[in-house]
Structure 1
Amino acid sequence: MKDWQLAYEKWNSFEHLDSSLKKELANLQDNNEALEDAFYKELTFGTGGLRGILGAGTNRMNIYTIRKAVSGLAKYLKENCVNVNDRGVVIAYDPRYMSKEFAVETAKVLGAYGIKSYVFDTLRPTPVLSFAVRYLATVAGVMITASHNPPEYNGFKVYNEDGGQITPDEANQIIAAIQETKNELTVPYIDQEELEKRDLFTWVGSEVDNAYLDRLKQISKLNEKDMQKEKDLNIVFTPLHGTAHDLVLRGLDQLNFTHVDTVTEQAIPDPEFSTVNSPNPEEHQAFAMAIEQGIKVNAEILIGTDPDADRLGVAAKDKTGNYSVLTGNQLGALLLDYILSKSEHALLANARMIKTIVTTELGRAVAEKYDVQTIDTLTGFKYIGEKIRQYDATGETFVFGYEESYGYLISSFARDKDAVQAAVMACEMAHYWKNQGKTLFDALDVLFERHGYYLEGLRSLTLKGKQGSEKIAAIMDGVRANPLNQIAGFKVEQVEDYLSSERTINPDNVIETITLPKENVLKYKLAEESWICLRPSGTEPKIKCYYGVRGTSAKDSEERLERLKAEMDQVLNQYA
């Protein structure tokens, strides 16, 4: 009998198996392919936690995989942190299927270890969970979310005592503790009612929200007089059925943005995300209803947040008068320029802007104009949060952090990407440019004319299941085994292999050590400031190829980008 069959039999014969999961297994009993996919491995504890499809099985999100993960987390906290029981863990959740149930399950297992839980009474954004860890001085935080994944997904995301996503070292220790639990079906837990009697379970209300909003108001670059004025900016906002609705509206109201229209149908939390193909502001289709409403009210800016409110998309009128969605790279560069232009130069002497290795180089050019140093990290906001934590000790000043996938952080009172902060600041920025007679796309042209025409692209190849994972590995192995010397006519000047921590500089093959953590990523730096980067996703069954160019004009950049994409498509298809 194969390993997956043994795991299946263990679940199927478990007398106390949850009734809904038992029913699901009964429906799958003749479908070996589906059963193998559900049981052939344990759900991977990856980028900050678990994320997977809901359902029965060791490779699925359910109360048993949650309990096993929480048991490992509890053991890790007990061994590595102080005053764990008294400080406790704060837990938040988004509108997905089983989110609140998983939040309570988390508390039930923590309680069995004597650890108190603070559980939000309703849906909350991820950045509020990050803030709450620091505000409540808890030893850790847990966010139940699958961000912008499809409705069949959910996730379990862990935050350290600094409010940042756990680092790779912390994750490895938690994984080791999780693996000590051999049977996920028998993890000890205490019922909620008993936890409340023992003062091990507390509901969290509006206090944290109010404290968050106080800090949010302080990030504004408006003076007190301008803050009090009613703003003549027409805004359309969609939370895409997620958690951001109340806090974004309250944040805008604090700065007297009074002309805000919400997409009513998308303001309602909905685990099916029924009005969009994908609840992801990176997908332009998600803005369809916001665009319709924007036309009606002649909005200058459309803002959209993903379900757990850690990503923000923005649309504005382009040169044709139609609404277009800014890329994450473009919005990040605009926000950075606005923030630095409104900051006192003397306060930027020790300032740091942080971006990931797949984020536009336009940000670096903008930062240099204001004498601000740029720091590169691996992909994932956990690395940006880790840098901010280091700055607490070194005295360096964090001024902005962002990644191309629509994640931004303006102030470090939260330690993860924060769409609420970004939404309010984007509207403030749009108001500023409106007063200069410009749209956000006009403002982007100002940056291009000043720094060069930077353009980026991304191709994602989705490869699901066990075979998909094997194909993704084969692509990375194939590219490593067959080094590229030129791509689309651009010479390869440097190859950065983050798995081996080596940077090879051509043409003399000089090898330098990369000091960032090891990760399965390849980046090629090409002639004429072009680059590509290849990496498997840490949260989805995808391999991603990123591209960046700097041209002499918009047309020149577009042509360069298409050349890179066409050649890399051939490379990916060769090994897929």
Structure 2
Amino acid sequence: MRQWETAYEKWKNDEGLDAHLKQELDAMHDQPEALEDAFYRDLAFGTGGMRGVLGPGTNRMNIYTIRKAVNGLAHYLKNHCVNVNDRGVAVSYDSRHMSKEFAVETAKVLGAHGVKAYVFNTLHPTPLLSFAVRYLGAAAGVMITASHNPPEYNGFKVYNEDGGQVTPDEAAAITEAIQKTEDELSVPYLEQEEIEAKELLTWGGQEVDNAYLEQLESITKLDADEQEQTKDLQIVFTPLHGTACDLVQRGLDNLHFHQVDVVEEQAVPDPEFSTVDSPNPEEHQAFTMAMELGKQTNADILIGTDPDADRLGAAVKNDTGDYAVLTGNQLGALMLDYILRHTDPKLLPNARMIKTIVTSELGRRIADSYGVQTMDTLTGFKYIGEKIRQFDATGEAFIFGYEESYGYLISDVVRDKDAVQSAIFACEMAYYWKKQGKTLYDALQSLYETYGYYVEDMISLKLTGKQGSEKIARIMQAARTESFTDIGGVDVLAVEDYWTSERMVAGSSQPEEIDLPQENVVKFLLKDDCWICLRPSGTEPKLKCYVSVRGDSEEDSRKRLTKLKTAMDHFLHRTQS
């Protein structure tokens, strides 16, 4: 009997199996491919925690895989943190199917270990969980979310005592602890009534919300008098059926942005995200209803947050009067410029801007012009959070962090990307430029005129299941072993392999060392500040190919981008077969 069949038989014959999961499992009895995919491995716990499709099986999100993960986390915390039982773990959840149930399961397993759980009594954004860990002095945090994944997904993210996503070393240690639990069906837990009676489960939220909003008032660049004035800015906001509705509105109201229209159909939490194809503000279709409302209200800016409110999208009027959705690179560059032009020049030499290796180089050019050092990290905001933590020892000052996938952080009271503070800040920025007689689109064109026309795009291959994983492995191997002198007619200057931590410069026989953690990423540095990066997603069954160009005009950049994407399309399809 194959390994997956053994696991399947164990679940099928377990008399105590959850009734709903048993019903689903019984319905799959004549679907061997579906059963193999559900049981061929344990759902992986990586640096972003674990994320997967809901359903029965060891490779699915369900109460048993949650219990196993929490059991390992509890053992890890007791071995690596002090006073864990009393400090406890902060737990939050979003609007997805089973999110609150998984949050309670987390508390039930922690309770069996004698560890207190502070659980939000309503769904809350991911950045509030990060803030809560620090505010409560908790030993760790758990967020139940699959971010902007399709409705059939959910996830389990772990935060360290600093409020940041666990680092690779921490994740490896937690994974080791999880793997010591051999039987996910027999993890010890206490019932909810028992942990409540023993005060091992505390429900809360309002105090943390108020403390968070109070902190956000300090990030504004407006002077004291202007903060108290009613702002002439027409805003449309959509939380895309997620968690941000209340906090974003309260934060805007605190700064006297009162002209806010919410897309009511998308203000209601909905695990099916029924009004959008995908609840992802990176995708333009997510703004369809916001644009319709914006046209009715003549809005200056449209803002949208993903379901767990760690990503922000924004749309503004372009030179033809239509709404254009800004990319994460564009909005991040605008935020950085706004911050630096309002920062005391005496503070800039010690200031640090942090971005990921797949984020546009436009941010570096802006930071350089102000004498601010840019630090690069691997993809994922966990690495930005880790850098901020290191600043506590080095004395360097965090000024801004962002990544191309619509994640930004202005204030380090949170140690993860934060769409709530970013939404408020983006509106303040739009208000500032409106007073100058400009839109954010106008401000962006000024950046391009000053620093060069940067354009980015991404090719995303969805390769699911075991066969998909094998295809991704073949593509990455080809990227490492094939010799490239040019891509799409643009010369290759160097190849960076983050798995070996080596950079091979064209014409050189000896590699240079890359001082970043090991990760399965290959990046091609091309002539004229262009680059291409290949990276398997850590949270979805996808291979991502990032393409970035710089030109003297939009037309020049678009032509280069098309050539590079065409060349990479050919490479990706050729090497996966």
Would you call these one fold, judging by a TM-score over 0.5? Answer: yes
Match of 1:542 in 2: 542
Is the CA contact (8 Å cut-off) linking 1:48 and 1:159 kept in structure 2?
no
| 1:264 alignment partner AA | E
Within 2, Cα distance between the matches of 1:280 and 1:148? 5
Within 1, Cα distance between the matches of 2:367 and 2:24? 54
Moved more, 510-519 or 13-22: 510-519
**Aligned ranges for residues 480-495 of structure 1 at < 5 Å?**
480-495=480-495
State TM-score, norm by structure 2: 0.99
Within 2, Cα distance between the matches of 1:528 and 1:155? 40
Within 2, Cα distance between the matches of 1:179 and 1:310? 29
The C-alpha deviation readout for 1:490-533, integer Å capped at 9, x for no partner, is 11111100001101111123311111000000001011111000
The C-alpha deviation readout for 1:195-248, integer Å capped at 9, x for no partner, is 111111100130000000000111000011000111110000000000000000
**Local SS of the residue matching 1:279:** coil
The C-alpha deviation readout for 1:93-132, integer Å capped at 9, x for no partner, is 0010000000000000011111000000001000000000
**Aligned ranges for residues 493-504 of structure 1 at < 5 Å?**
493-504=493-504
Match of 1:35 in 2: 35
| C-alpha deviation, 1:268, in angstroms | 0.2
Match of 1:361 in 2: 361
Instruction: Tell me the matched-pair count.
Output: 576
The C-alpha deviation readout for 1:183-206, integer Å capped at 9, x for no partner, is 000000001111111111100130
Within 2, Cα distance between the matches of 1:510 and 1:367? 31
| 1:118 aligns to 2:92 (yes or no) | no
**Local SS of the residue matching 2:131:** helix
Q: Give every structure 1 segment of 4 or more consecutive aligned residues whose post-TM-superposition deviation is greater than 2 Å.
A: none
| 1:254 aligns to 2:250 (yes or no) | no
Within 2, Cα distance between the matches of 1:40 and 1:5? 8
| C-alpha deviation, 1:159, in angstroms | 0.1
**Local SS of the residue matching 1:109:** helix
Match of 1:468 in 2: 468
Moved more, 447-456 or 57-66: 447-456
Match of 2:11 in 1: 11
| C-alpha deviation, 1:381, in angstroms | 0.2
Is the CA contact (8 Å cut-off) linking 1:381 and 1:417 kept in structure 2?
yes
Is the CA contact (8 Å cut-off) linking 2:41 and 2:59 kept in structure 1?
yes
Is the CA contact (8 Å cut-off) linking 1:37 and 1:59 kept in structure 2?
yes
| C-alpha deviation, 1:393, in angstroms | 1.2
Is the CA contact (8 Å cut-off) linking 1:535 and 1:545 kept in structure 2?
yes
Match of 2:423 in 1: 423
| 2:209 alignment partner AA | D
Match of 1:235 in 2: 235
Is the CA contact (8 Å cut-off) linking 1:54 and 1:152 kept in structure 2?
yes
Match of 2:451 in 1: 451
Within 1, Cα distance between the matches of 2:126 and 2:428? 22
Within 1, Cα distance between the matches of 2:224 and 2:440? 24
Within 2, Cα distance between the matches of 1:138 and 1:479? 43
Match of 2:380 in 1: 380
**Local SS of the residue matching 1:218:** coil
| C-alpha deviation, 1:483, in angstroms | 2.4
Is the CA contact (8 Å cut-off) linking 1:47 and 1:539 kept in structure 2?
no
| 2:509 alignment partner AA | N
Match of 1:176 in 2: 176
Moved more, 172-181 or 479-488: 479-488
Is the CA contact (8 Å cut-off) linking 2:8 and 2:57 kept in structure 1?
yes
Within 2, Cα distance between the matches of 1:359 and 1:513? 21
Match of 2:130 in 1: 130
Within 1, Cα distance between the matches of 2:180 and 2:524? 40
| 1:214 aligns to 2:214 (yes or no) | yes
| 1:309 alignment partner AA | A
Within 2, Cα distance between the matches of 1:18 and 1:310? 32
| 1:160 alignment partner AA | N
Match of 1:160 in 2: 160
| 1:319 aligns to 2:319 (yes or no) | yes
Match of 2:507 in 1: 507
Structure 2 regions of 5+ residues with no counterpart? none
Is the CA contact (8 Å cut-off) linking 1:109 and 1:188 kept in structure 2?
yes
| 1:208 alignment partner AA | V
Match of 1:50 in 2: 50
Match of 1:575 in 2: 575
Within 1, Cα distance between the matches of 2:349 and 2:371? 7
**Aligned ranges for residues 61-140 of structure 1 at < 5 Å?**
61-140=61-140
Match of 1:273 in 2: 273
Is the CA contact (8 Å cut-off) linking 2:46 and 2:172 kept in structure 1?
no
Within 2, Cα distance between the matches of 1:143 and 1:174? 16
Within 1, Cα distance between the matches of 2:20 and 2:210? 39
Within 2, Cα distance between the matches of 1:97 and 1:308? 13
| C-alpha deviation, 1:251, in angstroms | 0.5
| 1:201 alignment partner AA | L
Match of 2:557 in 1: 557
Within 1, Cα distance between the matches of 2:277 and 2:483? 38
| 1:260 alignment partner AA | V
The C-alpha deviation readout for 1:425-457, integer Å capped at 9, x for no partner, is 000000011111111111001101111111111
| C-alpha deviation, 1:47, in angstroms | 3.2
Cα RMSD for the two superposed structures? 0.6
| C-alpha deviation, 1:319, in angstroms | 1.1
The C-alpha deviation readout for 1:161-188, integer Å capped at 9, x for no partner, is 0000000000000000000000000000
| C-alpha deviation, 1:307, in angstroms | 0.1
**Local SS of the residue matching 1:232:** coil
Within 2, Cα distance between the matches of 1:80 and 1:386? 17
Structure 1 regions of 5+ residues with no counterpart? none
**Local SS of the residue matching 1:456:** strand
**Local SS of the residue matching 2:511:** strand
Is the CA contact (8 Å cut-off) linking 1:459 and 1:545 kept in structure 2?
yes
Match of 2:264 in 1: 264
